[in-house]
């Protein structure tokens, strides 16, 4: 009697039976979910290609998520900052942050989803110079809550728990322009921003190997800048330079209006220069910072990606 456990069929030629039980199933291809990345998933991207980590810091509603969403929206329109979109493993994550700003969401005014919780989340973006003369550049950008930075500001111990700080190529501190525009709140905005930066520096998480961008967000609420506000902004710049510039690898200041409410300032004002600096500059490639450092025994993939990609490069810092 025939063995009923074996399922036979006929091949395309119709001449020979085919035993389906012996066929090897095709290899399963795991596609990215498109959601935010964990540090471990981000480490796998960093191990595969040259990657810059950009950490956005600031109080709740200072404009961190809005800045990220605006970058993504501009690439939806075409090239931006002389760069073209070359892919992302977190398209769903980007879309979630932009949803509330779209007419389809039914919101009465443009907004972005508030980032909640203390989890370390990363967005991935791959861009390339629109001339195509340079290879693609991968960016991993953090979207942490203002609550997390409140803890970091008040405690160096909490600051040291955020290992991504020490690994970051760019530390971007947002100072809320809405508060700077209000005389009763501007000193609070200044003090909170400097306290956050001081905590990161004192904890050894931001230092001589760090590129720091101080961003005055929502700049459209400050413009046109009157004399009193102009002098206050200069005071902030001078104070931060005096207290921190010698302790940092680089310190720069930017005026940004991601989604200006005023028609006098263009959409995504100030972001192109900021984005270009993230893609072009990294403290890892400044020769004066190339000091031999031994990797820890339990170094993550994120720690070791530079050694994998550039074996002759000695300077690698621990994220864990």
Out of 70-79, 156-165, 181-190, 235-244, least confident range: 156-165
Asked if residue 21 belongs to a domain, the reply is no
Average pLDDT, the chain: 80
**Whole-number Å distance between alpha carbons of 300 and 297:** 9
Give CA–CA dist 100/297, Å, rounded. Answer: 44
Q: 206 falls in which pLDDT band (50, 70, 90)?
A: very high
CB 153 within 8 A of CB 43: no
Contacts of 37 (CB under 8 A, 6+ apart): 45, 89, 90, 93, 121, 122, 123, 124, 140
- 93-133 pLDDT tens trace: 999 888 765 644 445 555 555 544 456 789 999 999 999 99
Confidence of residue 309 (pLDDT cuts 50, 70, 90): very low
Residue 283, pLDDT score: 85
Position 19 scores a pLDDT of 57
Residue 75 has pLDDT above 50, yes or no: yes
On the question of pLDDT at 318 being above 70, the answer is: no
Helices (H), 155-299: 156-160, 164-167, 177-181, 186-202, 227-244, 271-280
> Would residue 281 count as lying in a domain?
yes
Residue 43 lies in a domain: yes
The CA distance from 56 to 143, in Å, is 7
> Which of 26-35, 51-60, 77-86, 254-263 has the weakest average pLDDT?
26-35
Is residue 23 in some structural domain? no
Q: How far apart are CA 320 and CA 317, in angstroms?
A: 9
Count other Cβ atoms within 10 Å, centred on residue 94: 23
Here the CATH number for the domain that contains residue 187 is 3.40.50.300
Q: Where are the alpha helices (DSSP H) in 9-131?
A: 39-48, 64-77, 91-99
Q: Does residue 278 contact residue 293 with C-beta atoms inside 8 Å? A: no
Domain assignment present for 243 = yes
60 located within any domain:
yes
Structural domain contains residue 34: no
Region 142-149: what's the mean pLDDT?
83
Q: Which residue has the higher pLDDT, 308 or 318?
A: 308
Pairing mode, strands 170-175 and 51-58: parallel
Where in the sequence is the domain holding 99, given as residue range(s)?
39-309
Number of domains in the chain: 1
Strand partners, 80: 83
Residue bearing tokens 């509603």: 61
Lowest-confidence region among 183-187, 227-231, 259-263, 296-300: 296-300
Q: What is the pLDDT of residues 156-190, one digit of tens each?
A: 888 888 888 888 999 999 999 999 999 899 999 99
% of the chain surpassing 90 pLDDT: 51
Q: How far apart are CA 9 and CA 282, in angstroms?
A: 60
* Residues found in the chain: 320
Least confident range from 29-43, 65-79, 244-258: namely 29-43
């Amino acid at each position: 009697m025939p063995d009923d456990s074996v399922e036979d069929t006929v091949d395309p030629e119709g001449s020979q039976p085919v035993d389906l039980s012996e066929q090897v199933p095709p290899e399963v291809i795991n596609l990215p979910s498109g959601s935010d990345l964990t540090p471990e998933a981000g480490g796998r991207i960093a191990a595969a290609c040259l990657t810059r980590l950009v950490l956005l810091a600031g109080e709740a509603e200072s404009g961190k998520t809005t800045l990220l969403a605006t970058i993504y929206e501009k690439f939806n329109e075409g090239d931006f900052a002389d760069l073209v979109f070359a892919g992302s493993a977190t398209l769903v994550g980007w879309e979630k942050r932009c949803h509330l700003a779209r007419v389809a969401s039914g919101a009465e005014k443009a907004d972005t989803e508030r980032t909640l919780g203390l989890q370390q989340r990363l967005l991935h973006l791959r861009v390339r110079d629109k001339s195509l003369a340079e290879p693609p550049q991968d960016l991993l950008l953090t979207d942490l809550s203002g609550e997390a930075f409140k803890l970091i500001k008040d405690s160096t111990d909490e600051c040291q728990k955020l290992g991504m700080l020490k690994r970051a190529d760019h530390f971007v501190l947002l100072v809320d322009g809405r508060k700077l525009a209000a005389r009763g709140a501007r000193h609070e905005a200044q003090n909170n921003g400097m306290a956050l930066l001081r905590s990161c520096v004192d904890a050894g998480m931001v230092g001589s190997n760090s590129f720091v961008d101080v961003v005055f967000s929502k700049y459209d609420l400050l413009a046109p800048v009157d004399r009193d506000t102009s002098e206050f902004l200069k005071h902030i710049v001078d104070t931060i330079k005096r207290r921190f510039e010698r302790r940092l690898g680089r310190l720069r200041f930017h005026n940004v209006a991601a989604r200006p409410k005023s028609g006098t300032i263009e959409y995504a004002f100030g972001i192109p220069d900021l984005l270009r600096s993230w893609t072009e500059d990294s403290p890892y490639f400044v020769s004066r910072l190339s000091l031999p450092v031994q990797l820890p025994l339990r170094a993550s993939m994120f720690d070791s990606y530079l050694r994998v990609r550039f074996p002759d490069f000695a300077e690698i810092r621990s994220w864990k």
